[in-house]
Amino acid sequence: MLKKCLFLFLALSCHTVFGTVDNYWTGNGDGVSWHSAANWSEGHYPVYNTNGSEKAYIGMNATTDYTVNFSVYASYDRSPGNFYLGQDSDPTGTYTLNITSTGFFCNVYSYLGPQGILNVEGGNYTTFGTKQLDGVVNVNNALYKNRSYVWRIGGYMAVNPGSTFRIQNGSRFSESSGDITVPNSYFTGTIDIWGGEMIMDGDCTTAIAWHINNGNIIAHGDTGTLDYYYDATEDETIITSTATENFWTGDGDGISWDDSDNWSAGHLPVYNNDRSELTYIGINSTDDYSVDITTSGGTKGTCGYLYLGRDSDPIGTYTMNVESSGEFYNVFTQIGSQGVLNINGGYLNTYGMKQLDGLVTVNGGTFKNRSSIWKIGGYVTVYQDGLLTFSNGTKFSSTSSDITAANPNFTGTIDLWGGQMKFQNDCTTAIAWHVNNGNIIAYGGNGSLGYAYDANANITTVKSYGEYYLDSINGNDSNTGTSPSQAWQSLSKFNSATFQPGDHIYFKAGCTWNGCMEIGDAWGPAQGSGTAANPIVIDAYGDISNKNNKPRINGYPYGNDTLKIQSIEYWEINNLQLTNDGPTDATPRTGVSVSSVNYGQMNHIYLKDLYIHDVRGVSSLDGWGTGAISTGRWDPDGGQYESYLNDILIEDCYIEDADPYGVFIGGGSKLLSEQQATNVVVRGNYFEDLRSSAVLVTGTESALVEYNEVNTAKGVGMWPFAAHNTLFQYNEVYNTVNEEGDDGNAYDCDYECTGTTYQYNYSHDNPGGFMLICNEPQNPDNVYGNQNPTIRYNISINDGSSDESIFYCWKEVTNASIYNNFIYIPSGKDVHLVSTGHTYGDDSLYVWNNNIIYSHGTARYLVNDDSTHWWDNNCFYGTHKKVWYRIGDFIIWQDGHPSGNNNITSNPNVVSLSYGYGFDSIVGYKLWSNSPCIGAGLAKYPGGEDFWGNPLFTGNPDIGPHEQ
C-alpha cells in the first residue's frame, strides 16, 4: 500500500492502455522461471527478435501494485524486441520487475513509464536502447549497461554501492549530434550516485558538469558530493560519490530518542536554531525503512531541517513513527514523495512545513504547523481523534495576508477520516474553495465535510462524515454503498458493516425491509462507536413529508427487537418507521431496544423523528421492557462493569398502537449507592392508542420528560418508578382509559421515588383522574417510599369520574407539595377532588396552597385514612362538599370545602373556561386584572415562572397557575 501511495505523486495520468494485439506478461510469483510458458498468459513467455516487432508488457492496466520476479542464471537470456514496464497512460498501480541474475540479461529496447520500477539485483543487465526511462531504477551490486544510440531519462535511477551504470556510447550521454560537450536534451530526470559509479565512453566532463549544476546528477539523495574525471588511457569518464551528512539509522521499535547507541556514528537528533544541521531519515534505502521514535513528557527537538524522503530518492519508503506523550518539536520539515510520517499520539509541533509531498497519517494526537510558509503536495490522513492544526491561518489561505484567498501551494490532499482540522482565524472562504477543488476530502472522497468559524475562539474547524446508503429496491450488497447509485440493499449488509465516528447512514424513503437491525453487541461494539464530537448518524433520504413514507423496517417475525442497540455509544437514529406486530402477545417485543450489557457507562443514544407503530407486546403492567421504545441494563454474574445509560434523547417521535408502553426507561439502578441512568430526555413525542403508559421512567437521576402529547393510554399517561428528581413539564395527556383495574390517570407520582416534580402540564378528559400519588410501604424492597413530590402550576380540566378522583392519594407519602394548580370541574360532573384510601397512609403529609378549584359541577373531598392535609390560601369556587358523617362506606355530605387559612370562595374571574387540544386552547385560564386571586397566594414558593412563562412576583403570588 505504501508503494502504491508513494507513486501517486509522480505526476501519473490515467488513459486507455495499449490495444489488444500485443501480448502481456502476467507472471505473478516469486522466482518465476524465465523460460516456463506455464507462468505466462496464453503460454506466452519472453522471447527475442532483433527487429523489435514483438512487444511484451508487464502488469499493464493493473489497478493495484503488481510485481514480477525473474531469476536468471543462464549465460545469455533475452527479452523481446520492445519491453514495456509501465507507461504514462497506465492507471495508478505500480509495476515492479525484480531481476536477480548471475548471468547476462539482454534486450533490444526498454520502456519504463512513471509507474515502472526496475530492480536489478546482481549480474549484467544490458539494453541496446533505453527509449524511455520515466520510472524508477535501482541498481544493486550489478552492472546496468546502456549500449544505446538513442536514450532518454526522465525518471529516477539510483546506483547503489557495488554497482556501475555504464553508458557505452558516451556521445549519446552528451547530445544526439555526437558533440559530447553538449548536454543531452532528453536527460530531464535524475541519476543518483549512492556509493556506486557511473562510466561513459569519451570525455564527457563538460556535459557532466552541466547536468550536475542542473540537478540531473546527484549524490546520496542530493546530500553528498560528486567526483568525476576523464581517464584518457581508457577513454572513459568516471563519476563517483561520497556522503557528507549524518543519517539517522535507528531501526527498532520503541527506541530511545536520547540514546546515541541507536543512531549511526553516535549521532542522535539535536536542535540548533540556525538550521545549519541537516538530518535525514532512511535516505538511499532501497527497501522500506522505518524509524520508531518514542518520547515522553517535555519538549524534544530535532535539528534545523528534518528530511524524511525526497523526490530524488530511490524507491524505498521512509517511515517515521512518533509515539509521544509530550511535545515533539522541530524547525523545518520536508517530506518527500517517499516519506511516510505516522503520528500515533502526543504532539508534533513544527515551525515550518516547507514541503509535504509524501504521506502523513495522524492516528490520534496533534500535528501542529506553526509555519508562515508551507506547502502540501502529498496526502495527509487525519483519523479518529487526530487533529491537524495550523496556528497561522492566513497561510492556509494564501501566501499573502488575505485569508479569503486559496493557497496556491496547496496542491495535494488532506483526507479527514473521523479526525478534525483547526485553523486560526476565519478561513471558511478558502476552505470552501479547497473543498470544491478536491484538496480537502472526507473518507477517501466518500464522505462529507462540515466546517464553521467560532468567533469567540477565533478558530475555524473542519470535520468529516462518511456517507452510506441503503435502497431495498434498487440497491445491491456488492456495491460500495457510498452514494445513492451505489446503495447497499439488505439489513444484513448494514448489520455486518463497521462504521467510523461521524459516518452518516441513509435509508431510502418509501422502501421496506423485513428483518431486524442490530447496532452493537452484548460483548463489544460490532458496528463501531461514534465520539462525542462525531456521533454516527442514521437518517432517511427522499421524501418523508408523510410519516408513512419513512423507510420501514418490519421486525416480526425475525426477532424480539426491530432495532436493537446494545453496548455501543454515540449513535443518533432519525426518521425510520419501525413495526413489530404479531398474531399474539409476546414479551419482550419492542420497536427499539437500547441496553448497556456488562459495558459500564453507555453514552449518547438519540432517537429522533421515528414513526413506531403496531408493536404487539403484552397489555399489562407486567410487560416491563416491552413496547415501542425500551431501554435497560444488564450486568451478568461475574460481569466486569456496573452498566448504566447516559445522555439518552427520545425526541419528536410518533408512537401509536404499541403494547404496553410507548417509552420505557430502565437504564440504571434505583439505589443512590449505585449508578442511575443520567441525562435522560423524553421530549416532543406524540403517543396514541397505548395498552398501558406512554412514558415510564425508572432507575434514573434527574430525567426530563417534556412537551409530549398523549392521546388514549390505557393506564397512567406518564409516571416515574424507582427514579429520583424526575421533572415532567409542558406535557398534555387526554382520553386515558381506566378499564379492568388500570389506573387511568394522566400523571402519577409513584413510589421508590424522591423529588418527583410535575409543572406546567395540561390534563383533560381523563376519566381516571389527573394525578395519582402513591406508595407501597409494606413491600420489604421499598427503600425510599415516595418522598417530596411536587405538583405545581398545572391545569386539569374535566378529569376524573364518579368512580375515580382527580387526585388519588394512596398509602404513605412524605411531604407532598401541591400548589398553584387550576382544577376545573364542568357542569353536571360529580367527582372527588381528592380521595385517600388505605390504612398505611397514617404518616402522610399533603400541603395544598394557592390552587384554584373551580367547580361548575360538584367537587368532593374524602380523606379515608389518617393522612394529614393542610389547605391554605386556596380558591374554592362553586359547589364543594366535605364529609359530615361517615360509617364505613356510608357517608353524609355537607356543603363546604376543607378548612384552612386564608382560603377564598369568590369567583376567580378567569378570561374563559373553554378548552380543547393543545396549550393554545387554554389561554383563557388566565386571571382578569380584577381577580380576587391576585396577590392572595402564600409567599412560600418564590422564584421561577408561571404556566405561561411570566416571572413570579417576589412577594405574595397570585393563586392559580397565572401570575397577573
- For 297-335, the pLDDT digits (tens) are 555 555 456 667 665 665 556 666 666 555 666 656 777
Q: Tell me the three state secondary structure of residue 645.
A: strand
Q: Quick: pLDDT tens for 803-816.
A: 899 999 988 899 99
Q: Provide the pLDDT for residue 628.
A: 95
- 404 vs 154, higher pLDDT: 154
- 4 vs 777, higher pLDDT: 777
Q: Provide the pLDDT for residue 254.
A: 36
Q: Provide the pLDDT for residue 890.
A: 86
Across 625-642, average pLDDT: 84
pLDDT at 3 over 50: no
**Termini Cα distance of the chain:** 74
What's the mean per-residue pLDDT of the chain? 80
**Percent of all residues in the chain with a pLDDT value above 70, rounded to a whole number:** 72
d(C-alpha 289, C-alpha 318), whole Å: 5
Q: Provide the pLDDT for residue 542.
A: 97
d(C-alpha 258, C-alpha 423), whole Å: 32
CA distances from residue 554 to 214, 463, 511, 615, 624 in whole angstroms, order as listed: 71, 34, 11, 10, 22
CA distances from residue 736 to 637, 696, 714, 718 in whole angstroms, order as listed: 40, 15, 6, 11
- Strand (E) or helix (H) holding 170: helix 170-174
d(C-alpha 811, C-alpha 775), whole Å: 5
d(C-alpha 304, C-alpha 323), whole Å: 21
- 678 vs 276, higher pLDDT: 678
CB within 8 Å of 181: residues ≥ 6 apart: 174, 206, 207
Least confident residue range of 51-65, 660-674, 683-697: 51-65
Q: Provide the pLDDT for residue 319.
A: 67
d(C-alpha 146, C-alpha 130), whole Å: 7
Q: Which of 215-219, 392-396, 782-786, 898-902 has the highest mean pLDDT?
A: 898-902
- 576 vs 465, higher pLDDT: 576
Q: Provide the pLDDT for residue 16.
A: 25
Across 88-108, average pLDDT: 63
Give bridge partners of residue 677 from the DSSP assignment: 700
- 32 vs 426, higher pLDDT: 426
Q: Using an 8 Å Cβ cutoff, are 316 and 282 in contact?
A: yes
- Strand (E) or helix (H) holding 493: helix 491-496
**Percent of all residues in the chain with a pLDDT value above 90, rounded to a whole number:** 39
pLDDT at 398 over 80: no
- 611 vs 502, higher pLDDT: 611
Least confident residue range of 93-107, 530-544, 771-785: 93-107
pLDDT at 31 over 70: no
Across 627-646, average pLDDT: 86
d(C-alpha 443, C-alpha 467), whole Å: 9
pLDDT band at 283 (very low <50, low <70, confident <90, very high): low
Q: Provide the pLDDT for residue 810.
A: 87
Q: Provide the pLDDT for residue 74.
A: 47
**Exposure on the CB side of residue 371, measured as CA atoms within 13 A:** 26
CB within 8 Å of 503: residues ≥ 6 apart: 443, 447, 465, 466, 467, 468, 530, 536, 537
Cell numbers representing residue 465 in the block: 462524515
**Exposure on the CB side of residue 747, measured as CA atoms within 13 A:** 32
Q: Using an 8 Å Cβ cutoff, are 3 and 94 in contact?
A: yes
Q: What is the pTM of this model?
A: 0.67
d(C-alpha 429, C-alpha 434), whole Å: 9
Q: Quick: pLDDT tens for 738-755.
A: 776 667 899 999 999 999
pLDDT band at 41 (very low <50, low <70, confident <90, very high): very low
Q: Provide the pLDDT for residue 302.
A: 54
pLDDT band at 129 (very low <50, low <70, confident <90, very high): low
pLDDT band at 102 (very low <50, low <70, confident <90, very high): low
pLDDT at 29 over 50: no
d(C-alpha 26, C-alpha 111), whole Å: 17
Cell numbers representing residue 667 in the block: 437504564
Q: Quick: pLDDT tens for 169-211.
A: 665 565 555 666 777 777 888 898 977 898 988 888 888 888 8
Q: Provide the pLDDT for residue 703.
A: 97
Across 136-142, average pLDDT: 82
Q: Quick: pLDDT tens for 927-954.
A: 999 999 999 999 877 678 999 999 987 7
Q: Provide the pLDDT for residue 252.
A: 37
Across 5-31, average pLDDT: 33
- 253 vs 799, higher pLDDT: 799
Q: Provide the pLDDT for residue 354.
A: 60
pLDDT band at 545 (very low <50, low <70, confident <90, very high): very high
Q: Which of 122-136, 435-449, 536-550 has the highest mean pLDDT?
A: 536-550
- 674 vs 837, higher pLDDT: 674
pLDDT band at 788 (very low <50, low <70, confident <90, very high): very high
Least confident residue range of 278-282, 485-489, 494-498, 845-849: 278-282
- 250 vs 945, higher pLDDT: 945
d(C-alpha 471, C-alpha 336), whole Å: 44
Q: Provide the pLDDT for residue 248.
A: 44
- Determine how many CB atoms are found less than 10 A away from the CB of residue 455: 7
d(C-alpha 456, C-alpha 188), whole Å: 52
Q: Which of 196-205, 342-351, 697-706 has the highest mean pLDDT?
A: 697-706
- 310 vs 897, higher pLDDT: 897
